[in-house]
Structure 1
């Protein structure tokens, strides 16, 4: 009897393993983007041309870090890329879990002429954050953006919602983002956190977390010390 019971239990276990849904794949692509964002942020911080960035970073509410904007990344003749947004908590001063975004335009690649670019956008206003918290928006009509000053002697304040810094092949250059769109990437958020969640749910409501973001958040946090 006991032997028969063991056989039955074994069969049940095997069947359960076969019919139980397989866990979602590990978010390899999403984690790679988070890791790349940390590397880009760190490299921008130590770049001699980023004096203005370092001097004004304490005024920023958040950073949208786009490790790669590729010419023809999403469609022929255009440019596109993915990035992550981290936001500073007004109460604790800590940095949020990353929310994923997609950026694209049919004109960015033509205006810049490069094949691959690394980008950091500083978010300076609540309006800028509110636009990012929406499903999508366009630069120019929905939010203002300026090219960030580069070079050791860069001075002055820039009164816009966003300030962008673009580097291609190791050199900083201007890129107009007027007309470019930014969209919250809900699929990548779900893949990274294991559940459907909005940028507001990630950043403001703190509904989810992923330990894989610790190095990025620590890197941003340590840059303010």
Structure 2
């Protein structure tokens, strides 16, 4: 009797262990997001927050007229005399049919020397208004202000309508910050491809052009972000 009970207990334990192992691969089982997936999720939350913020009431209008959008959920800046900033985000381009592409991954980096002190974390949305700006993003690396003109901060109720609807710059930057930082600018910042994230999210050969222009790659996890954009 004891031996039979022992065998039943062992069999039950083995069955439960096997089911627990299967749980890791069954569809719908929760798992941790990868770095790339986390960036896409945070990019969606950033756009959602900024479009809902009354200080950024012009942002949806800009996005509706945009050729592309580059979203950095966390652009970190800090320094004393010598400053630096950087952050990784996602870039989407609008197709000829008006739909938004899957996102490609890029990193922004900048350094500056001058009178500056403090630290800051920004949510930044770059709205690309021209084909020139989109073409610049598709290169392996480009410099803001040199390869494409940029206007920083066309937001808030104090900005005149004539300045926020003429779309004379290639790129407009909308940013929301936490912290205090004096000095520095985005002029001269470099944006470059994060190919490792592109391939981890889509697979081998997932270049920015193949993702956002040719649309040879897709990932359902980005559908909520694409659907959110005007």
TM-score (norm 1): 0.77
Instruction: Judge conservation of contact 1:103–1:183 (CA < 8 Å) in 2.
Output: yes
Q: What's the secondary structure of 2:55's corresponding residue? A: coil
- Normalized per residue, the structure richer in strand is 2
Matches within 5 A, 1:10-89: 28-71=34-77, 77-89=83-95
C-alpha change, 1:174 and 1:128, in structure 2 (3 Å) is farther
Show the counterpart of 1:124.
129
Kindly tell me the number of residue pairs found equivalent between the two proteins. 192
**d(CA) in 1 for partners of 2:113 and 2:187?**
9
Residue segments in structure 2 that go unaligned for 5+ positions in a row: 1-31
C-alpha change, 1:193 and 1:101, in structure 2 (3 Å) is same
Show the counterpart of 1:205.
214
C-alpha change, 1:112 and 1:118, in structure 2 (3 Å) is farther
For the pair 1:168 / 2:177, whether they are aligned, the reply is yes
Show the counterpart of 2:104.
99
- Indicate the structure (1 or 2) with the bigger Cα radius of gyration: 2
Instruction: Judge conservation of contact 1:97–1:203 (CA < 8 Å) in 2.
Output: yes
Tell me by how many angstroms 1:175 deviates: 6.8
Residue segments in structure 1 that go unaligned for 5+ positions in a row: 1-25
Show the counterpart of 2:151.
146
Show the counterpart of 1:182.
191
Show the counterpart of 2:7.
none
**d(CA) in 1 for partners of 2:205 and 2:33?**
14
Tell me by how many angstroms 1:112 deviates: 8.6
**CA RMSD in angstroms, aligned pairs only:** 2.7
C-alpha change, 1:77 and 1:56, in structure 2 (3 Å) is closer
C-alpha change, 1:82 and 1:110, in structure 2 (3 Å) is farther
Show the counterpart of 2:16.
none
**d(CA) in 2 for partners of 1:110 and 1:31?**
37
Tell me by how many angstroms 1:169 deviates: 2.1
Q: What's the secondary structure of 2:87's corresponding residue? A: strand
- Which among 133, 138, 159 is matched to residue 138 of structure 2? 133
